[in-house]
Amino acid sequence: MIVMSAIVIAVILGVVLVGAALVIGLMTVQRRRRLQQRFGPEYDRLVGQRDSKLKADSELAGRERRVHDLDIQPLTDSARAGYAVRWAGIQEQFVDTPADAVTSSQVLIAAVMNERGYPADDDEQVLADLSVGHAGTLDRYRKAEEISRSAAAGTASTEDLRVAMIDYRALFRDLVGETTDAGSPAAEPVHSSRANDGAAPTASDAQLAETHPDINADDPVTDQPDLLPSRSTEGELTR
C-alpha cells in the first residue's frame, strides 16, 4: 500500500513537473515571438552577437524595462514644427557643404532624443534605448553614424554623405513623428517606395533632388508621411 502510494505521488509529481515545463516553454515561445516582432532585425543581430536566443531575449526584455522607466515623452506640436524647419535648413545646407550638413543632422537628432527624454551620454546605450521604440530605423542610424565618423576623418565621398543624410532622415522622422510613450510604442512603419505607390515626392524631397544631383527624390526613405514644411509654410511655423 505504501509502495503504491509512493508510485502515485511520483506520477503526480512527474505530471506536475511536465506541465510546469510546458507552461514555461509556452511562455518563453510567446515572449520570444513578441520580442521578434517588436525588435525585428535588431533581434536577429543580437542573437548572432550573443550566440544565444535566451541571452538575446533576456537583454531585449531588459532594454524594455529600462526604457519604460526613462519617462520618454512625445514632442509638442510647436517642438515638432521647429525641428521640421531646422531639418529643412539642413537639407538646403547639404547643397554647398555636404559634410557639415551630415554633422548638423547628427546634432539635430541628438537634440530631439534629448528633448524626448533619451539619455545621450553613451553611444551604445543610445542604440539600445532607441531599439525599443525605433528598431525599424536603427540599422540606418548605425550606418549614418559610421559615415559620420568617416566624414570627420575626411574619407567619406559625396555619395556616402548622401546616404548618411537619407539614413539620418529616416530616424529623424521616426523620432519626431512618434506620439506614444515608452510603455506603448507605436507600430513600426510599413516601408514602401514612392516610386511603387505612385505618390509624388514631397516638396522638401524634390527640392533636395533639384539642388544636388546625387539626391534622388524617389528614394525609398520617403515612405513615411512628410514632416517637412514647404517654403510657403516655414514662415508660419517660425512666427
221 has pLDDT over 80: no
pLDDT value of residue 186: 38
pLDDT value of residue 1: 60
Quick one: pLDDT band at residue 20, thresholds 50, 70, 90?
A: confident
- Residue 49: which of 39, 34, 40, 59 has the closest Cα? 59
| Alpha-carbon radius of gyration of the chain | 24
**Average pLDDT for the chain:** 76
pLDDT value of residue 4: 63
Q: Worst-scoring range by mean pLDDT, 15-19, 84-88, 122-126, 176-180?
A: 176-180
Q: What percent of the chain has pLDDT over 70?
A: 69
Global pTM reads 0.65
Q: Please write the tens of the pLDDT for every residue from 160-206.
A: 999 999 999 999 999 998 433 333 333 333 233 333 333 333 334 44
pLDDT value of residue 135: 92
Q: Please write the tens of the pLDDT for every residue from 97-145.
A: 999 999 999 999 999 999 999 998 888 999 999 999 999 999 999 999 9
